[in-house]
Amino acid sequence: MASLSQTNFTYTIIAFILLLIISTQCGAQISPTFYDATCPNALNTIRAGCDASILLDDSSSIDSEKNALPNFKSARGFEAIDSVKSQLESVYPGVVSCADIVAVAARDASFAVGAPSWAVKLGRRDSTTASRSLAENLLSFTDGLDKLISTFATKGLNARDLVALSRAQTIGQAQCAFFRERIYNNQSNIDAGFASTRRRQCPGSGGDSNLSPLDLVTANSFDNNYFKNLIQKQGLLASDQVLFSGGSILQEKGLFSRANVLRNTKCPQKKYNFR
């Protein structure tokens, strides 16, 4: 049975992994059948970042991306990927990349909690170097809507993609340090009762690493509550709530309407720029 840290990893890292997989330009040779001949049981073994550079630890030549501020004490559960890699190496040494393991694990973990499945293109190669400076430029939980949209645009993704990918936040947990300011500053874009409830697990000082589910009602289900929470001003992270701030670009473009959110319970069947 998976350990608690592995379970926490599954839920807290999904949003990051999905963005990494979808927004990064990968080689044209990747294919869902890449390992069919060389490692036919690869997907089954994985089931039990595009180049996986975040998995590299510090060394004399590597400044690990794990130490970058957006990842530090936030991205966790690396031992789960290490375990899968070890099992694959015992059967097919040197064949399956860690990058593909991360991609398939993200798909399977999402599907396990109710998200749609998809065919993962395989054949990524692992990076032998890391770039902490690039990792420092990952989006922050305090970023505003303009920053979110412009950053997605640099990856070839539009506002509709931003909405779809943000829905990954319907599952997972966040550390107190990431939402303390939002729940204690009596802002106009947060429900007072919601803020009061969240303070029980996040004191005004200390307890930075205390975990709280992004969605209190269905914490481990991939459903539509993420959007419903934003309508009710109950988004835990500031970067989530800005998607439904009054007069936002997303509402003006018809990407985020109250009627659509309340009507739909599954992912909308629309075309996005997912790679």
pLDDT at position 115 = 85
Tokens of 180: 């303390």
196 in the same domain as 151: yes
Q: What CATH number corresponds to the domain at position 43?
A: 1.10.520.10
pLDDT digits over 6-58, tens only? 444 444 444 444 444 444 444 446 777 777 777 777 666 554 445 566 666 77
Low-confidence ranges of the chain (pLDDT < 50): 1-28, 47-49, 259, 262-272, 274-275
Q: How many angstroms separate the CA atoms of 193 and 235, rounded?
A: 12
Tokens of 234: 């109950």
Q: What is the DSSP string of 108-119?
A: HHHHHTTPPP-P
Q: What CATH number corresponds to the domain at position 150?
A: 1.10.420.10
Q: What is the pTM of this model?
A: 0.68
In contact, 102 and 49? CB cutoff 8 Å: yes
249 in the same domain as 213: yes
121 in the same domain as 40: yes
Q: Is residue 185 part of a domain?
A: yes
Residue stretches of the annotated binding site: 49, 51, 53, 65, 170, 215, 218, 223
Q: Is residue 27 part of a domain?
A: yes
In contact, 168 and 15? CB cutoff 8 Å: yes
pLDDT at position 251 = 62
Q: How many angstroms separate the CA atoms of 223 and 257, rounded?
A: 17
pLDDT at position 18 = 43
* Three-state SS annotation for 233-256: CCCCCHHHHHHHCCCCHHHHCCCC
Q: Is residue 273 part of a domain?
A: no
- CA separation (Å) from 187 to 159, 165, 169, 233, 245? 25, 26, 21, 10, 12
195 in the same domain as 95: no
98 in the same domain as 186: no
Residue stretches of the annotated binding site for Ca(2+): 49, 51, 53, 65, 170, 215, 218, 223
Q: Is residue 127 part of a domain?
A: yes
123 in the same domain as 27: yes
Domain count, the chain: 2
In contact, 26 and 124? CB cutoff 8 Å: yes
* Residue 233 lies in domain: 145-263
In contact, 74 and 49? CB cutoff 8 Å: no
Q: Is residue 252 part of a domain?
A: yes
Domain boundary (135, 159, 179) is at: 135
